[in-house]
Amino acid sequence: MTDTQFAPAPSSLAYVPFLSVENMMKMVHAIGVETFLTELAGYIEDDFKRWPEFDKTPRVASHSREGVIELMPTADSDNYGFKYVNGHPKNTNEGYQTVTAFGVLSSVANGYPILLTEMTVLTALRTAATSALVAKYLAPEGSQTMAMIGNGAQCEFQAMAFRALLGIETLRLYDIDASATEKAVRNLTAQGFKVTACKSAEEAVEGAEIITTCTADKQYATILTDNMVGPGVHINAIGGDCPGKTELHKDILLRSSIFVEYPEQTRIEGEIQQLDEDYPVTELWQVMLGQAQGRTDAQQITLFDSVGFAIEDFSALRYVHAKATDGGFAEKLDLLADPDDPRDLFGMLQRANA
């Protein structure tokens, strides 16, 4: 108390770069949505190709009657990242988001966070980038048309990613809620897509080489039936992503070659929770490394049973960290106590009262 007459300002070590929702959106537009998605897909592909380097754990979930709150951590030798994400299906009725998220990237060397960022928008972007990246490996060559069943918050991001990475321009949309389809048609038409609003899932899949299913409600368990899926199609199944929640009829799975992110997690949360525990699936990182085969013939039905994995968030955190630092989009958050003498935390507290 006697040697310092004033409370010194925190040193730079005390501040954590913070990317707010507003600044995330500004940054996405400064980069351009499709460029962002393409570059992000590159980061995800890089990380999938070094899959064995990661410290992988299943997400840590806290379930309640209303929903779930999850922590999704992962790390390589340089960085540690985690995402906080909730899933509360009834939230929209009360004006809240079903899913919100934020995340942190840290230095493994000293444990200090180097980025805190919103991840609601970022998760939508990384989910879409992952889907399109996977489709680059699995969708039939020359695909032009994508059916999108479920036109909620993820729909337009998927469309943007598939155009950016695969050149898909033609979309056939269906949702049980016609107003969701109207919203998506409006947004996607403004982005220059050729969009058809359909009256049924059957109508939507007509002529589509790629079928994206992205529904949120637990009660609609079979949005694609076996007869709707023709040979050669790639199915991008986004919405089956927690225990007790699936979108596809089991018969479709049995006709498909199934590709997954992390089998330990997908067998609990994905479409394949309908199948035996040892049903053969292919890990995507092995396809990307050329260690396993992707699509092998034009008649094959390929299925990406997407549930979202921590490494995709890690890639997104890495990408955003690089871009936010370069672009000056990050604010400084006074999140970490940083006494001049690390042993003198109490002295720092007392000087703050001086």
Residue 35, interface with a copy of itself (CB under 8 A)?
no
**Residue 295 CB, nearest approach to a copy of itself (Å):** 29
Binding a copy of itself by CB under 8 A: which of 46, 53, 203, 334?
334
Which of 41/104 has CB closer to a copy of itself? 104
Binding pattern for the stretch 213-252 against a copy of itself, x by CB under 8 A and - elsewhere: ----------------------------------------
Which of 292/345 has CB closer to a copy of itself? 345
Which of 180/275 has CB closer to a copy of itself? 180
**Residue 217 CB, nearest approach to a copy of itself (Å):** 12
**Residue 138 CB, nearest approach to a copy of itself (Å):** 25
**Residue 256 CB, nearest approach to a copy of itself (Å):** 29
Residue 309, interface with a copy of itself (CB under 8 A)?
no
Assign 3-class secondary structure to the chain.
Answer: CCCCCCCCCCCHHHEEEEECHHHHHHHHHHHCHHHHHHHHHHHHHHHHCCHHHCEECCCEEEECCCCEEEEEEEECCCEEEEEEEEECHHHHHHCCCCCCEEEEEEECCCCCEEEEEECHHHHHHHHHHHHHHHHHHHCCCCCCEEEEECCCCCHHHHHHHHHHHHCCCEEEEECCCHHHHHHHHHHHHHCCCEEEECCCHHHHHCCCCEEEECCCCCCCCCCECHHHCCCCCEEEECCCCECCECCECHHHHHHEEEEECCHHHHHHHCHHHHCCCCCCCEEHHHHHCCCCCCCCCCCCEEEEECCCCHHHHHHHHHHHHHHHHHHCCCEEEECCCCCCCCCCHHHHHHHCCC
Binding a copy of itself by CB under 8 A: which of 153, 164, 252, 284?
153
Residue 86, interface with a copy of itself (CB under 8 A)?
yes
Scanning 93-101, 221-229, 230-238, 305-313 for contacts with a copy of itself by CB under 8 A, the matching segment is 93-101
Residue 187, interface with a copy of itself (CB under 8 A)?
yes
Binding a copy of itself by CB under 8 A: which of 4, 35, 46, 97?
97
The catalytic position among 241, 276, 278, 341 is: 241
Q: Is 217 a catalytic residue?
A: no
